[in-house]
Amino acid sequence: MPQNRNLQKKTKKEIDSKLSSEDSLELNTEWTMNTNQSNIPDKIREKTEVEPSENNFVEEQLLAAIDLTSQKSQNGRIAAMKIISQLLSKKYLPSFAFNNLFTLQDCIVKGLKKGRSAEQKEAAKLASVLCFQIGATDGIETFYKELSPLFLTLVKSSDISLEVREQCCLTLGVLCFIALDAKDEIEQTMKILKNIYKTDDPNDSLQVSSLKCAALTSWCLLCTLLPAREVYESASSNILTLLELLESEDLNLRIEAGEAVALTYEMARQFDDDICLVGNLENEAKDDVESKLSKKLKQLANDSQKSRAKKERKLQRSTFRDILKAIESGKSPNVHIKFGHETLVLNSWSQKKRYEIFCDVLSSGIDLLLVENEILREVFELGLPLLKNSVLTKLSKRERHAVNAASLKMRTRSRQNNRANKMIERCSVSDSD
């Protein structure tokens, strides 16, 4: 009998430990449906890891959070929007997002128009996350038409806080990147963003520098959508503006400006490898810009000022050495990112800049969404989603290699088609001349 009791105790402990480990993977959130309550209950616990089998459960939590976005308490509305953003950034639910688009859109618009700074910022962040859910659906056009005028107004307004404008700049970039195909609208948005980060004063406050950094990041994201010829023709004025930003006291803004220079060179060389980037300037001005740019990049790549922190100097030197190599010899980044059973290869400045801003929006959830999100897989040329993890784990090494080889073949074909289109564009330009 004692042995049986010990066995029962041991079995009970094993069951309890299994249940506790399973509970740690679930979104164990208790909601109240009383809209008169001032705040979301303290029992709400946000869990980030979700399993594919929990779709229905996650959707229930999303519906409950959506209901709470209409309560009177501003703190309650902000907390509800945070829950929605976190869930949608870690689970791909395009059908749910499309079916509830008008409700979510109304919540975002009200938060942007009537809310205070904290609510406006959270509403703008929710809008950026929602773009990745509805980007492959027909709802993205309606979403863009409704929200783009509002975001354009907010990013230019000096009456709202700099933090809100910063988040609106990032959201505007993502929204236009996913929704727009027309070159004219993209260029118009880029001009607005350029007016924000363009400056003559390198000694801005930290908040102002953060705003300019966000505007420049979105500008770079939209720049990757333009034809190489457009980037080549506007490169001169862009380089002159970026040279001013390289003088900034803020490290993030200097790095962002340097990477924007590398991106401009990379895309301009796709149109013409031989002709100098600033060739449409007068000879004296061209030599002056080239010398200033080369001198400044080398200075930042070998900076040893003791007034800056050691960690800051180290990051700046390593970053600008890569930028200098990209400009002098055309060297591209080569970053490998593993997610699930796949590997994402970032072998250009365009892909690197895209990945960075998507990480800013989705945070750690990008690894989960890369597995099945149609927009992300199309942008990074990953092809069709692979089999579910439960099936992939049963495949042999040879079978897994075949799946990865097929995905690589699809990416290679896509890049070959892009190169062929660029060659056709060059030939048509030379014939017209």
- Tens-place pLDDT, residues 306-331: 667 788 889 999 999 999 998 888 88
Q: pLDDT: is 22 or 111 the higher one?
A: 111
The answer to whether 48 touches 364, Cβ cutoff 8 Å, is yes
Mean pLDDT of the region 93-97? 93
Residue 225's identity, in one-letter code, is L
Q: Does the pLDDT at position 48 exceed 50?
A: no
How large a percentage of the chain has pLDDT more than 90?
50
Q: What is the dihedral of CA 76, 80, 82, 87, to 10 degrees?
A: 160
pTM of the model: 0.78
Q: pLDDT: is 291 or 267 the higher one?
A: 267
Q: Does the pLDDT at position 26 exceed 80?
A: no
Give dist(CA 32, CA 40) in Å, integer.
7
User: Please, is 276 exposed, middle or buried when counting C-beta atoms within 10 Å of its C-beta (0-12, 13-18, 19+)?
Assistant: middle
- 111: nearest Cα among 66, 51, 49: 66
The answer to whether 314 touches 320, Cβ cutoff 8 Å, is no
Q: What is the chain's mean pLDDT, rounded?
A: 81
Q: pLDDT: is 80 or 307 the higher one?
A: 80
Confidence category of residue 28, pLDDT binned at 50, 70, 90? very low
Mean pLDDT of the region 7-30? 42
Residues 103-145 pLDDT 10s: 999 999 999 999 999 999 999 999 999 999 999 888 899 999 9
pLDDT for 433 equals 59
Q: pLDDT: is 412 or 347 the higher one?
A: 347
Q: Does the pLDDT at position 234 exceed 80?
A: yes
Q: Does the pLDDT at position 345 exceed 80?
A: yes
Q: What is the 3-state secondary structure (H, E, C) of the chain?
A: CHHHHHHHHHHHHHHHHHHHHHHCCCCCCCCCCCCCCCCCCCCCCCCCCCCHHHHHHHHHHHHHHHHHCCCCCHHHHHHHHHHHHHHHCCCCCHHHHHHCHHHHHHHHHHHHHHCCHHHHHHHHHHHHHHHHHHCCCCHHHHHHHHHHHHHHHHHHCCCCCHHHHHHHHHHHHHHHHHHCCCHHHHHHHHHHHHHHHCCCCCCCCHHHHHHHHHHHHHHHHHHCCCCHHHHHHCHHHHHHHHHHHCCCCCHHHHHHHHHHHHHHHHHHHHHCCCCCCCCCCCHHHHHHHHHHHHHHHHHHHCCCCCCCCHHHHHHHHHHHHHHHHHHHHCCCCCEEEEECCEEEEECCHHHHHHHHHHHHHHHHHHHHHCCCCHHHHHHCCCCCCCCCHHHHCCCCHHHHHHHHHHHHHHHHHHHHHHHHHHHHHHHHHHHHC
Give dist(CA 421, CA 403) in Å, integer.
28
Q: Does the pLDDT at position 1 exceed 50?
A: no
Q: Does the pLDDT at position 414 exceed 90?
A: no
Annotated domain spans of the chain: 25-138, 180-331, 339-418
pLDDT for 276 equals 54
Residues 172-202 pLDDT 10s: 999 999 998 888 999 999 999 999 998 665 5
Q: pLDDT: is 200 or 59 the higher one?
A: 59
Residue 220 structure tokens: 């770079």
Give dist(CA 333, CA 352) in Å, integer.
8
Confidence category of residue 171, pLDDT binned at 50, 70, 90? very high
178 phi-psi bin (left φ>0, alpha ψ -120 to 50, beta other): alpha
Q: Does the pLDDT at position 32 exceed 50?
A: no
The residues near 276 (Cβ < 8 Å, ≥ 6 apart) are 286, 290
The answer to whether 208 touches 247, Cβ cutoff 8 Å, is no
pLDDT for 280 equals 46
Q: Does the pLDDT at position 167 exceed 80?
A: yes
Q: Does the pLDDT at position 164 exceed 90?
A: yes
Give dist(CA 212, CA 196) in Å, integer.
6
Among 33-47, 148-162, 357-371, which is the least confidently predicted range?
33-47
Confidence category of residue 272, pLDDT binned at 50, 70, 90? confident
Q: Does the pLDDT at position 431 exceed 80?
A: no
Confidence category of residue 305, pLDDT binned at 50, 70, 90? confident
Q: Does the pLDDT at position 416 exceed 60?
A: yes
Mean pLDDT of the region 372-391? 80
- 111: nearest Cα among 164, 53, 182, 44: 164
pLDDT for 429 equals 60
Confidence category of residue 22, pLDDT binned at 50, 70, 90? very low
Confidence category of residue 401, pLDDT binned at 50, 70, 90? confident
Q: What are phi and psi of 45, to 5 degrees?
A: -125, 125
Could you tell me which residues are beta bridge partners of residue 346? 335
Confidence category of residue 421, pLDDT binned at 50, 70, 90? confident
Give dist(CA 154, CA 189) in Å, integer.
13
pLDDT for 395 equals 61
